[in-house]
Structure 1
Amino acid sequence: MFYRLTILAISTALLLGCANSRKNKTPPPDPATVQAQESKAIVVKVAEGVEQATAKVQEATGNKAVVADPTLVPFDKMSAKLSPLTEQQVRALAPALVIAKQIIITGYCDRREVGNAPAAARARAETVKKLLVDNGIAAKRIVLKIDTVQHLHAARVTFNG
């Protein structure tokens, strides 16, 4: 009789323990929320990397203008070639962009100053893309755009988490 009571007590305790453990479980997190949090974390990491890259370029070249916008790569009016300074600026951005999910390079050329502005804008974006790819960024994550309305002769590197 004692044996049966002991088994009954143990099995009741086990059943109650199982029932309590199910109640304490939290529901799984929403996948959309998790993805949004991961994207924000990536954006923060890339932004920190861009700030570090800007500091490196500023230190190496003494160019304080880079600090204003390190993602804007200036070009000469009639050129799609990078100067040594702007090449160094793009190379410094590359390590920060490695974890970005998508990189958008917008080539700018003022259509009032250059005859074939769309081709010049695309060539500038391609030049920056090639340098980023040469520095370890996957080409499939880079999207090129052009803008001939702005009064700029440059390329801008932006990213999405």
Structure 2
Amino acid sequence: MKRSGFVCAALLVIAAGVTGCAENPTAQSTVPATTSWKNAPAVATSTATKAAETAAAAAAQVAVDPSFLKFDKMSAKLTAEHELQIMSQLPKLKEAKVITLRGYCYKKDIGNAKSAALARAINVEKFLIKQGISKKKMNRRFNIEDAEHAVRIEIGN
């Protein structure tokens, strides 16, 4: 979930609380009247924090194989989840002698599947270079036969 989703969820929670007070004027506030804004409970922050923890747990479950980065069918852009998956492997990648980045794009889903598969592999390569991994030890491959939209990071020694 993106950060804007957290903000929207927090605003909805706050709006629901305000609307509830307006519809029921006799409802009592759970915050004492003497509480200042400085000491008020952080409802939106805790809601956003819980949502972030839930998203992180979901990402951890999805990333059972951190070397396999799944992409949306029409995308070659790295997401924050992809970057986390790559960062979890960074020590192994820095020690590797050869890294193969195999881009996947199913030819029955996309017109120019080869270009899309290689674009995904190139974006992963660019991110790895920013992390200090030499371009000399990386090579790119593509697969347009399997029904996948992904990049597999293969470590060879």
Instruction: Please give the TM-score of this superposition, normalised by the length of structure 2.
Output: 0.62
Partner of 2:41: none
**1:90 corresponds to:** 86
| Matches of 1:79 and 1:86, distance apart in 2 | 13
The answer (yes or no) to whether the contact 1:103–1:157 under 8 Å persists in 2 is yes
Count of residues paired in the alignment: 103
Distance in 2, matches of 1:147 and 1:90, equals: 20
Greater helix proportion: 1
TM-score (norm. length: structure 1)? 0.60
- Mapped pair 1:117 → 2:113: yes
Corresponding residue to 1:129 among 98, 105, 125? 125
Q: What does 1:46-57 correspond to in 2, within 5 Å? A: none
Runs of 4+, deviation exceeding 6 Å: none
Q: Kindly state the Cα deviation for residue 159 of structure 1 after the two structures are TM-superposed.
A: 1.0
Secondary structure of 1:136's counterpart equals: coil
Unaligned runs of 5+ in 1: 1-57
| 1:139 correspondence with 2:109 | no
In structure 1, how many angstroms separate the alpha carbons of the residues matched to 2:86 and 2:56?
13
What secondary structure is seen at the aligned counterpart in 2 of 1:98?
helix
Q: 1:98 to 1:59 in 2, by over 3 A?
A: farther
Identity level (%): 38
Q: Residue 59 and residue 100 in structure 1: after superposition, are their counterparts in 2 closer, same or farther (change >3 A)? A: farther
Equivalent residue, structure 2, for 1:157: 153
Conserved 8 A contact 1:106-1:145: yes
CA root-mean-square deviation: 1.9
Return the offset for 1:92. 2.4
Larger gyration radius, structure 1 or structure 2: 1
